[in-house]
Chains A and B, each alone.
Chain A
Amino acid sequence: MTFQKIKSVLGLSWQIAKAGFKLRNEGSYLGIFWYLLNPILMFTLLFFVFFDRLGSNISQYALYLLMGVIMFNFFQSSTLDSSKVIKENNYLIKSVNFPRESLVFSGVIRNLLSHFFEVVLFFVLALFFKVSLIGIIWYFFILIFFVFFVAGFSLILCCLELFFYDIDNIWNFAVRILWLATPIFYAIEGQTRLFYANLLNPLYYFVSISRDLVIYNKMPELYLVVGSLLFGIGFLLVGLFVFNKLKGKFAELV
């Protein structure tokens, strides 16, 4: 893929994302409020339910929880969008030959835009709890690889839609299991089986490394850094490979 091609794919993705963003807001800035409502409600509910029990041994539990919630929210929204993107755009796919990747990337960009609002929310909470804000700079580096992972995963999920028409329903269910399996509102320390299971869960790496660097201002363990890099780059490469192999069939199979 040449630089020119990447530029045109990302340019188109940005245009589609912008249109999607406007559609969601329907021309009103109040729409932004809806982006924050879901994580705020989820965070508040979990915080009050678990603060005394699961959160009692976790330092800065509010920030620990919010970091997990907003990162998972970005992953969940992007992948759920990609699991139905072909179905929703079938007429367009049959009518115009444009870079199909743009449909998936636009979903990731749109959700990334709303993720930034959530990061601002995190920032405000960190100020409230008087946590050093230097670590937040690290988050933007982590986010690059996290976006790679989410984009790669979304490309794969979008291809599965070709073969399983109701993959969005299945994924909706699977992502709930993943929500419970990932240490978002609890700590994994001392749970050996869950720890080993989470070594196969890319979200565990990204969420843990973000908490270490941003909230606790400490160097994460090496396996977390390596895991994040590998899952980020690996998923993007595999996603692009699978997508490129199958995108020629999209117009026929939708």
Chain B
Amino acid sequence: MQRIIIENLSKNFRIGFAKNQSVLERFYSFFSGKEPQKTICALDNVCLKVDSGEILGIIGKNGSGKSTLLRVIAGIYKYDAGKLETSGKIVSLINLYIGLSLRLNMKDNIFLTSSLLGMGQEDIKKSFDSIVEFSGLKEFTETKLYQFSMGMLQRLVFSIAIHANPEILLLDEIFEVGDEDFRQKSGNKIVELVKKGASVVLVSHDMEMIKRHCNRVILMDKGKIIINNGYA
């Protein structure tokens, strides 16, 4: 079963298209007409298939289109041309800003972030103990997150994401987080998810990590897939 099917997919960004303009600037731009626009092709005719039970690694230089591809698969960006089909629940961990509120405690954040990742209230209640247990932060459930270290935040986010029952898990540089024990534990959890039929797409610059975990690697450059069948 194929979880992701991408055919001839393209995504363009209008660079120079002056976003974040104020009202006065907009009027000025409208009448002056001085708004140079350039279109860059972030994804150019991309074709890709990801099977159920596969861990796919994506590597490439900065600006090669890796994160854009993840966002398109996640449905965060709309694509301009081509075809994209996904099958199963998508959970994306593209950065740590997935709804964490630093002034709220860990318990409230688990409820908030899990809801944003598409979990219902009953599911969250059922998974709550397991999320806390997995994160290894049991004694901090009532602590506000601004008192957490970056490592603790990463562990919390990762624990929430893998308990959101992903069938397609998209990870952008957030995989091996925390200490050695947690890395081992999260690696095992990913293997468990994949064995159950989930697919994982992992973007990273860390070749060692890609080699350790991925069944297949693709190399991207300037929005194109240069190597599609690289086995790690």
Contact = CB atoms under 8 A, between A and B. Distances in A.
A19 B75 CA distance: 25
Interface stretch (B32-40, B54-62, B98-106): B98-106
B149 interface: no
A98 B23 contact: no
Given A19-B108, A92-B99, A96-B98, A248 B78 contact: yes
A118 B3 CA distance: 51
A65 interface: no
A96 B23 contact: no
Contact of B77 (A11, A22, A165, A251): A251
A95 B101 contact: no
A94 B115 contact: no
A191 B98 CA distance: 52
A96 B104 CA distance: 20
Nearest to B78: A248
Interface string A55-92: 00000000000000000000000000000000000011
Nearest to A91: B97
A92 B99 CA distance: 6
Interface residues of A, number: 29
A12 interface: yes
A15 B76 contact: no
Given A95-B94, A166-B23, A253-B19, A23 B103 contact: yes
A11 B114 CA distance: 12
A15 B71 CA distance: 24
Contacts of B90: 97
| Chain A facing B: main interface SS | helix
A95 B104 contact: no
B225 interface: no
A92 B76 contact: no
A26 B111 CA distance: 17
B120 to A, nearest CB: 7
Nearest to A251: B76
Contacts of A254: 19-20
Interface string B70-105: 010011111000000000001011110111010110
Given A95-B92, A95-B95, A15 B112 contact: yes
| Chain B facing A: main interface SS | loop
Contacts of B117: 96, 98
A8 B121 CA distance: 10
A199 B103 CA distance: 44
Contacts of A249: 78
Given A11-B115, A252-B77, A94 B94 contact: yes
Contacts of B95: 91, 94-95
A159 B99 CA distance: 21
Nearest to B75: A97
B85 to A, nearest CB: 16
B76 A96 contact: yes
A189 B111 CA distance: 51
Given A11-B120, A95-B97, A96-B116, A165 B104 contact: no
Nearest to B118: A98
Given A92-B99, A93-B76, 9 more contacts: A8-B118, A15-B121, A16-B112, A95-B76, A97-B92, A163-B26, A165-B20, A165-B21, A248-B78
Interface of A: 8, 11-12, 15-16, 19, 22-23, 26, 91-98, 163-167, 170, 248-249, 251-254
Nearest 9 A/B pairs, CB to CB: A91-B97, A15-B115, A97-B75, A166-B22, A165-B20, A248-B78, A95-B94, A164-B23, A251-B76
17 contacts: A11-B121, A12-B115, A15-B112, A19-B112, A92-B98, A92-B116, A94-B71, A94-B76, A95-B94, A96-B74, A96-B94, A96-B99, A96-B116, A98-B116, A165-B19, A165-B20, A166-B23
